[in-house]
Structure 1
């Protein structure tokens, strides 16, 4: 009898451990199947903890709402907001929110549409979902940024207004919200690259470099009061990214307008990412020094000096260099499309489609094969399973027949 009691005591901890492992396996399985679930749980926990004690006294208030309210500068004017470390909580929370919205919309909204459109390849579905979501995101934030710009003297890409009244230590609520939400988006993309959730392609190093430069520009421009330069750079990239993602989506749908739309996209890209950004780059060499104060004073937070000028110009020049690299790829794709000479994916991103299409359709299918710009989102799991391209069977000598094996 005593032996039985001892055995039961030993068995109980083991059974509990087995049960815990089983629950953990089930949780992992659910997390892989429904990748939007964990971000949603985190968001609900934070919101629930805030609702239990709402108000500025709750530390989570700074994660959900803008911090450092200062009131209007004049009677009847808009409320202004300052800056500080608590803004990091806002960026962190909305990074989680954007993670949830991206995963949920892709899997629950866009994937059914892909199936409805006859896109059967899982790898192609994943890429289609990425591009549709990207187009949706920038269809919102592109006009949002233009609206924010239109509310002040910065309209329309006025380089002088970027430096007048410096230092810009406070902003309107809509300006600050837009800037920090964009910071959340790029933080999310940086996490994706850090975890290597995206299959590396030929321009992976350029993509990583672009993200490093972008995050540096976001942080430094916000911290050292150059956000008006930052918002202009945001808009030029957001709008061009919308047209890129839309052209890719049309390509996946075999649209008859994909060619003309792609050519229109090239014009948009050149105007926004090169003409306007080169104007901004030139302004950092000229107006940066001549418009407004030009000195370093830590007490008054006056940072517009020769040091910040070199840093700002260098980062924007690096961004322009990466964009020129992608422009080269874009123009090469256009050349191949016009001359009907594209036969393979030069970035090894075949998406497992070779067996699904005829050789007469290869050219149009590979219209966007060469390029992956910084808005490219990671190859997300399709209902929790990695959408990897299927390995193509090795070619067999002509005339040799293979014998199929029957199942026992």
Structure 2
């Protein structure tokens, strides 16, 4: 045997039995794996002797495998495998979809912040689309788009008579939807139509542009709804502010379609204006608290008059507010444009405001004392919806008196503006003072625009010297007293402009 000869020469004997030796020899011939580490091999290594077993020079599995060795093993990778499994693919797909949705929402949010009319337009289109899926009165969204509670005509009645409409909870959906519509029309007209007009007409100050856009839109709205209200009133017994007809035939539980549409659309407009105030879309004025109080009183009057059937009285109040607000808004627009007819038109506005907001409203208040109790029924009956009684008399008078108090406060401000215009030739409104932006102030300091006499055409700057104003009047300093003949004052500039025009 091959293993015994060397062992005999060395004078040592193998510790393994002959059967293991034979297996070992056979494994050295055919087995591809390296020999196992045995106690003999360990001992020979310690002694530095070579064993009698022929060992293979190398093992293919013991070395590095040939091929692309630059690719790391899966077990040593810190990140997921390059070729993902099926569940990983699903997770990455979900994440990518979420990222896409987030990106789309973020982009839509930026667009809505830049173009404020996009949001209400999207919401209105969604409601209209959901209605068009099933365009029938059974669709709940039909109450948002169309008037609800039409009443059938009585047998034998004239077919040409208008259909009467009742009242109910579905009317809230109508008011809510058209509040969205008014939000869209307001922002769209202001940004796409009125702002370019302001820039074309030379209004560069951004704060002044904002005020101009608000008043121009208000004038546009009341230019439509003022005559519309007069037409609706002409179809009722209340024409022309007939206070006795407000109580005759009470309760007024049904109305023509045009009357109901006008009343609810007006409610939508005032609700949208209240949202504008609450969201701070308009810059607060000095009379912000009075303005909020006016809107709260108005909305309370609208709901109470509609719910308790005092709509004829509400129609009269609507018209007094609409027409007077039209003259107010147009007078402000003319003032922002420095129109030469600002003074005469302001006088026309004062006449319209005094007549409608005070004379007519005071007549309605007086009728609550004299006709509310004597004309028509005067009792509280929830079954027959008779609400004209002592408690409704107190509530109605209290709300209208509060509205009149706010109007009197504004009448005082209007008279003060008129006094200043007569004395100082300026019709600036103290309630809506505007401030110039930093960019515009920098442009004025550079002197980009000069008048014919070489003075800077800016607010409060003359020959490079800033001036401080308080309530439209310059504060005098020790080195420079203020006088009405100062060439840099507002009055002198207005007089100089009138001379140049003449």
TM range (shorter): 0.7 to 0.9
Q: Is the contact between residue 365 and residue 397 of structure 2 (CA under 8 Å) also seen in structure 1?
A: yes
- 1:352 pairs, out of 432, 436, 443, with 436
Q: Is the contact between residue 71 and residue 81 of structure 1 (CA under 8 Å) also seen in structure 2?
A: no
- 1:276 pairs, out of 360, 373, 376, with 360
TM-score (norm 1): 0.84
Q: Which has the higher contact order (CA 8 A, sep 6+)?
A: 1
Matched, 1:46 2:127: yes
What is the aligned partner in structure 2 of residue 182 from structure 1?
266
- 1:60 pairs, out of 141, 157, 160, with 141
SS where residue 289 of structure 1 aligns?
Answer: coil
Matched, 1:300 2:356: no
Alpha-carbon distance in 1 for matches of 2:263, 2:100: 46
What is the aligned partner in structure 2 of residue 157 from structure 1?
241
Alpha-carbon distance in 2 for matches of 1:124, 1:200: 13
What is the aligned partner in structure 2 of residue 28 from structure 1?
109
Following TM superposition, by how much is the alpha carbon of 1:250 offset from its aligned partner in structure 2, in angstroms?
A: 0.8
Alpha-carbon distance in 1 for matches of 2:238, 2:267: 20
Q: Is the contact between residue 145 and residue 178 of structure 1 (CA under 8 Å) also seen in structure 2?
A: yes
Report how many residues are paired: 367
Matched, 1:311 2:395: yes
RMSD between aligned residues: 2.7
SS where residue 5 of structure 1 aligns?
Answer: coil
Following TM superposition, by how much is the alpha carbon of 1:43 offset from its aligned partner in structure 2, in angstroms?
A: 1.0
What is the aligned partner in structure 1 of residue 370 from structure 2?
286
- 1:5 pairs, out of 49, 68, 80, with 80
CA distance 1:247–1:342, change in 2 (3 Å): closer
Please identify, of 152-161 and 121-130, the stretch whose mean Cα deviation from structure 2 is larger. 121-130
Alpha-carbon distance in 2 for matches of 1:188, 1:259: 32
CA distance 1:199–1:112, change in 2 (3 Å): closer
TM-score (norm 2): 0.69
- 2:421 pairs, out of 333, 337, 341, with 337
Alpha-carbon distance in 1 for matches of 2:323, 2:152: 32
Alpha-carbon distance in 2 for matches of 1:361, 1:120: 17
What is the aligned partner in structure 1 of residue 220 from structure 2?
136
Q: Is the contact between residue 207 and residue 434 of structure 2 (CA under 8 Å) also seen in structure 1?
A: no
Alpha-carbon distance in 2 for matches of 1:221, 1:15: 55
Following TM superposition, by how much is the alpha carbon of 1:122 offset from its aligned partner in structure 2, in angstroms?
A: 1.8
CA distance 1:70–1:308, change in 2 (3 Å): same
- 2:325 pairs, out of 217, 241, 258, with 241
SS where residue 152 of structure 2 aligns?
Answer: strand
Which runs of no fewer than 5 residues in structure 2 stay unpaired? Answer: 1-73, 445-456, 463-470, 481-502
Alpha-carbon distance in 2 for matches of 1:112, 1:197: 19
What is the aligned partner in structure 2 of residue 82 from structure 1?
166
Matched, 1:226 2:310: yes
Q: Is the contact between residue 117 and residue 188 of structure 2 (CA under 8 Å) also seen in structure 1?
A: yes
Following TM superposition, by how much is the alpha carbon of 1:129 offset from its aligned partner in structure 2, in angstroms?
A: 1.1
Between Structure 1 and Structure 2, whose CA radius of gyration is higher? Answer: 2
Q: Is the contact between residue 39 and residue 99 of structure 1 (CA under 8 Å) also seen in structure 2?
A: yes
The one-character-per-residue Cα deviations of 1:74-115 (angstroms, maximum 9, x if unpaired) are 423211000000000000000001111111111111111111
Q: Is the contact between residue 164 and residue 291 of structure 1 (CA under 8 Å) also seen in structure 2?
A: yes
What is the aligned partner in structure 2 of residue 71 from structure 1?
152
CA distance 1:121–1:6, change in 2 (3 Å): farther
- 1:37 pairs, out of 118, 133, 149, with 118
Alpha-carbon distance in 2 for matches of 1:98, 1:91: 10
